Structure 1
Amino acid sequence: MLTRWLEWTAQAPEEVTTAYRHLRFPPLPDLLEPFRGRNLVMIDGAVLANDAQAERILRPLRELQPDLDTLARVPVTAVSRIHLDPEQPVPGDGASELLDALPPSAVGKLIEAAGAESGTSLFSTERLHLGGAAHWVVRRQAVARSPASTRSS
């Protein structure tokens, strides 16, 4: 599924920002039944488009036939809840790095290290696909680092 999401993000318009996560939910009674005790892949995000455009853009993700499809039009006040993070403080630790691409050769290693069969104790591992202004910042940084941008005329 990670490979298909990466292929989709390469073609997604800049009006789209998504997140791909491997999640491991412990079998705790406080968790909602659809999540309790399961290892899941979750894709969420935001699309700045009308309903027809959003449906066309998201169709390839829906073709993956998710167990639970939470992609829907929401008011701006609900955007902070799209990622389904807890609203109250919770203990945690994290690390991040901004990449301009995830090479296909890294996909297998990532699944091996963080996928459902990995045995990792991490609750969540995540990749973000940045659209909009963030998309262009990453692109400009990539161009600035390329050998073609350092040549003099």
Structure 2
Amino acid sequence: MKKSLFMYLFFFALLFIIFQYMNEKTIFESQEKSINSLTKKMEKARDSVDVLNNKLTESNYFSLLDNDNAMSYLEKYNLDPAEVKQLVTDKIYDQNGGENGNPIIEFKGDRGPMRINKIKFLNHRWIQADFSDGQRWGEVIIEYLFDEKNELDIYSVKSVLFPL
């Protein structure tokens, strides 16, 4: 009787061990698949981030604060590029408040005055700006200069108005 009891216990323990082994193996395989899937997603995300960083670097090639030559030019005249950017931006946006819109824009609006919405500094001399009256849109290239007295002069170089 004892022999058969030990035999049954042995078989039961053996079956329990086999069941545990198969169960753990299944869990391990599913976790490994999940890890591989997440690794592939992470690699894709890294590749996407790299592509976006390259695009950002390329688009910032024409900018005041990322252009070494423009920054050197301004520093040669003891001008801080960040302060210049803020000063020029404020002056352009302040001119939007006029009754006839921004005087830098050569076009008259159909629905109201033309106002500059967004600006992008291309370098130490030029700015690209977007303007509209709410219905019609356009872009303008603006030139800004500092004279001998470090006074700011801003004027339009060329404008384009997009067709309706």
TM-score where L is the length of structure 2? 0.21
Please say which structure displays the higher CA radius of gyration.
Answer: 2
Higher relative contact order (CA 8 A, sep 6+): 1
